[in-house]
Amino acid sequence: MSIKRIDPDDRWSEATIYNGVIYYTGVPTNLINDAYEQTKSTLNEIDKILARVNSDKTQILDVTIFIVDIADFPAMNQAWDEWVVKGQAPVRCTVQSGLMNAHYKVEIKIIAAVDQ
Amino acid sequence: MSIKRIDPDDRWSEATIYNGVIYYTGVPTNLINDAYEQTKSTLNEIDKILARVNSDKTQILDVTIFIVDIADFPAMNQAWDEWVVKGQAPVRCTVQSGLMNAHYKVEIKIIAAVDQ
Amino acid sequence: MSIKRIDPDDRWSEATIYNGVIYYTGVPTNLINDAYEQTKSTLNEIDKILARVNSDKTQILDVTIFIVDIADFPAMNQAWDEWVVKGQAPVRCTVQSGLMNAHYKVEIKIIAAVDQ
């Protein structure tokens, strides 16, 4: 079995696929916005990556959400709740951590199933 | 291969199973207690989930422990050491992060093997 | 399918292997050094573990890097860029978290493919 890489760059690949599973970390693209809009943006990036490999948000197994400011938890949840498919949600763990871009309010790491 | 979800709620599922692996994040249920008791509680939640899928703590592959206060590291370790099966321990990584419930002192994310 | 453990100790195993995947968390061994040297050391530990299971850094699927001080991000990246194989890089997520040894500046969690 071999590893499939999505958009391999020098420093990292956007996503990797192996043994029926895709690994990906999404970041927001709209950095001047609030946590609600940044979360929407990040979830949209996740949708786009999954669509490229014929998967979708109902196939996500595990999610780790990093937010910089705990006060942004409700705004993040609002964007999440509007996006997630009820009854087909993944495991989710949210923690407060600093992020590497001073404008990031959220970063979302996922593991999802893909057809082989 | 399809995804099996344990207690799928609107926002998240308690656990997901795919390709021989279960994903789960445990939180303490006894929030007024100290880090030792909260860790015991969280590990007990892990035991209960794994028992429901005919797995157990000797089948855990990878653990990420988030603690809010580094000073709680010894208390967390005490509960861990009383619980873990020596010689059949998983990989373990512990970091300090803020958690989303102001009473949480610990949160434990696991990946474990399950029979298919 | 059974779990293979690398150097199982009482509290944790150095690495676990299951279903074609190895789980491992690397820490630096040269704790008096700066973030660049600590990252080099941690990446060297990763190389050593992977070599023991006939894998290597081109087989890494997913990486989570925890750094204590965001100011160390460039030094960590320098060591990373010297080490990573361009075009065969894993997914990478870096967050700021406190670590359990007061001398650690970095800790690196990986999931990699191994031949079965």
- Which domains are seen in chain A, by residue range? 4-113 (3.30.1330.40)
Rounded to whole angstroms, the Cα distance separating B85 from B56 reads: 10
Terminal C-alpha separation, chain B: 11
Structure confidence at residue B1 (pLDDT): 76
Per-residue pLDDT reduced to its tens digit, A34-88: 999 999 999 999 999 999 999 999 999 999 999 999 999 999 999 999 999 999 9
Quick check: pTM over 0.95? yes
Nearest residue of C to residue B110 by CA position? C23
Residue A53 contacts residue A81 (beta carbons within 8 Å): no
Each of the 116 residues of chain C gets a pLDDT tens digit; together they read 799 999 999 999 999 999 999 999 999 999 989 999 999 999 999 999 999 999 999 999 999 999 999 999 999 999 999 999 999 999 999 999 999 999 999 999 999 999 86
Per-residue pLDDT reduced to its tens digit, B15-67: 999 999 999 999 999 998 999 999 999 999 999 999 999 999 999 999 999 99
For residue A111, which residues of chain B lie inside 8 Å, CB to CB?
23
- Both structure tokens of B64: 């990420």
- Both structure tokens of B77: 């370790």
Find residues 67-86 of chain C whose CB sits inside 8 Å of chain B.
none
Instruction: Decide if A88 touches C, using CB distance below 8 A.
Output: no
Nearest residue of C to residue A15 by CA position? C91
Residue C47's φ and ψ, nearest 5 degrees, are -55, -40
Confidence label for A98 from pLDDT (cuts 50, 70 and 90): very high
CA nearest neighbour of A37 among A74, A75, A9: A75
CA nearest neighbour of B88 among C14, C10, A52: C10
Rounded to whole angstroms, the Cα distance separating A97 from A73 reads: 12
Q: Give how far B13 is from chain C: nearest CA, Å.
A: 23
**ipTM exceeding the 0.90 mark:** yes
